[in-house]
Each structure stands twice: as C-alpha cells, then as structure tokens.
Amino acid sequence: MKLVIDYTPAIRQTAGIGRIIRGQVQALLAMPTPYRVRLFVAGQVTPEARAAAPLPLHTTPLISERNLVRIWHRLNLPLPRVEWFTGRGIDLFHATDFVLAPVSARRKVLTVHDLAFIRYPEAAMPSLHHYLNTVVPRSVRRADHIIADSHHTAQDLQELWRVPPEQISVVQGAVDHSHFRPVRDEKALAQVRRRYAIGDRPYILGLSTLQPRKNFARLIRAFALAREEAHLPHCLVIGGKKGWLFDEIFATVQELGLEEHVLFPGFVADADLPALLS
C-alpha cells in the first residue's frame, strides 16, 4: 500500500509543526509498516533539505509553494494534483497542516492543530483569518478522517463544525528524547546563558513566535504579579522571532516597568534548547 505524507511543514518550519512532522515520519520509518511511504513537498527545496530528509522528496519544481496555495486554496482549483508528482495509486494521503491538497487517494487524513483562528479571531491578521476560515473547513469536509492535536481541538471540531466524534482521532505531540535530554555540563550551560545574555539569575522560559495567540502579554502580567506577591527572583526569557501583532507584548513590559526582568533573545537555535530547558 502506498502512503503519501505532505512533508512541506517539515521543510519550511524549523520548530512547531515542522518538528512534529519530522518526528512523526522518523518514528513511522523506524517501525514495521505495510506502507510504501512517499514524502510530498509543495514547491522547490534546497539540496541541503533533500540531503537531510529521511526519504527522497517529491516536489513541484516548476511551481512555487506560494503559487500552489493561490491555485489550490484561494482559487479552489483541483489542479495540479499531488499524484502528478508522487505517482498514481495512492492508498492513503496525510495532509499534515490544516489544508488538504487536491489528490486522488483512496483515503485522505487531515491534521488540524487547533481552531484558535475561530475562537480568537483577533489573534490573527485579517487576511490570514479569512484564508483559514475558508480553506480549513473545506479541507475538513473533504477528509475521510481528522487527526487533532488535543482533546480540546477535537471538541472544537465537533462543536463548531459538527464533525462526528468517530471521525476524529486525538494524537498528541511527543518529545524527541534523542535530542531533548538534560544537560549536566556546567560549562555548556554557562555558554548558552552567555549566548542569550541571560546572566546568572534563575529564569522562566517561554518559547514561541511572538504573536497574540501565544498569550505572552498575560504571561508577563502573571510574572509581574508573582514578582510582587512572592518576591520571585527569576527573570522571564521569551525566545522566538517576531511574528505578527506583537506590539502588545512589548507594550506590556514597558507598562509594568519590567524591561530589566523580561528578556527577548530572539530566535533560539535548536541545538541550544536542551541546555536552556535544563
């Protein structure tokens, strides 16, 4: 049987969903499976990405990912189809990131990570909110089965879009213990602290792209309350690149006078995460 996985997030996203997909594929390939697995990527990929992938990548070399999004999801056109690039006879296609590409597969599985764009529309740019609110429910209707990252997302799918519970499986994210292991080397720990200008203070760590739905403004207010009521000696380190609508995060720090206690080191390299989390 032939299984095709949309590996696009694993190529485009270093952390978050990209990390989840890379881990899922690695785990799948490490166990006996009746499937012949193929990895599909929308758009072009670099030679380095091809070399790092666990299997050959079936790409769309003449059409960029951006143009495929326009054709498939904004114009809602069913061409080109995934099997044009992966070969025909697909038994199962797994769309791993909210949207389902045009594909002639016997069964189609779609992963929906959350419905925050519906619950909290103010946390997304208007253009992104409109796009997701159009494309995701359309993809859900086309899928034979839905994978939800959490029971909360499964409940949202049932309440908001009336997806039958038997059509949803909850598969929560796991930890890659080959990478995320405690670091005991004091020298390595000190080097990472210096690299991100944390200093010697104990710290609370938050990691994510800076955007409203990560709720960092509320975290900062909770941190300020803990400092005031419990005399917390920690600093708050929020690692991640700027995303969108992030002004409130920095404004909250200024409002509470926490400039010396809330640190924004920017993007944190994957190799440094185990030490920071230790």
Give dist(CA 17, CA 107) in Å, integer: 22
In terms of Cβ atoms closer than 10 Å to its own Cβ (0-12, 13-18, 19+), residue 159 is exposed
Per-residue pLDDT, 176: 87
pLDDT tens for the chain, residues 1 to 278 = 999 999 999 999 988 899 999 999 999 999 999 999 999 999 999 999 999 999 999 999 999 999 999 999 999 999 999 999 999 999 999 999 999 999 999 999 999 999 999 999 988 888 999 999 999 999 999 999 999 999 999 999 999 999 999 999 999 988 888 889 999 999 999 999 999 999 999 999 999 999 998 999 999 999 999 999 999 999 999 999 999 999 999 999 999 999 999 999 999 999 999 999 99
Helices in 99-143 by DSSP H: which ranges? 116-119, 126-142
Domain range 2-170, CATH class: alpha beta
The Cα-based distances of 106 to 60, 82, 93, 139 in angstroms read: 22, 13, 8, 16
In terms of Cβ atoms closer than 10 Å to its own Cβ (0-12, 13-18, 19+), residue 118 is middle
In tens, the pLDDT along 23-58 reads 999 999 999 999 999 999 999 999 999 999 999 999
Task: Find where tokens 């899922």 sit.
Answer: 24
186-277 has which CATH code? 3.40.50.2000
User: For residue 17, what are the β-bridge partners?
Assistant: none
The 8-class DSSP code of residue 214 comes to G
Distance of CA 237 to the CA centre of its chain: 21
Are 168 and 110 contacting, i.e. CB atoms less than 8 angstroms apart?
no
Are 241 and 232 contacting, i.e. CB atoms less than 8 angstroms apart?
no
Per-residue pLDDT, 275: 97
Are 107 and 93 contacting, i.e. CB atoms less than 8 angstroms apart?
yes
Q: How many CA atoms lie within 13 A of 192 on its CB side?
A: 20
Each domain of the chain, given as residue ranges in start order, spans 2-170, 186-277
Hey, do 2-170 and 186-277 end up sharing a CATH topology, with the first three levels equal?
yes
Are 112 and 148 contacting, i.e. CB atoms less than 8 angstroms apart?
yes
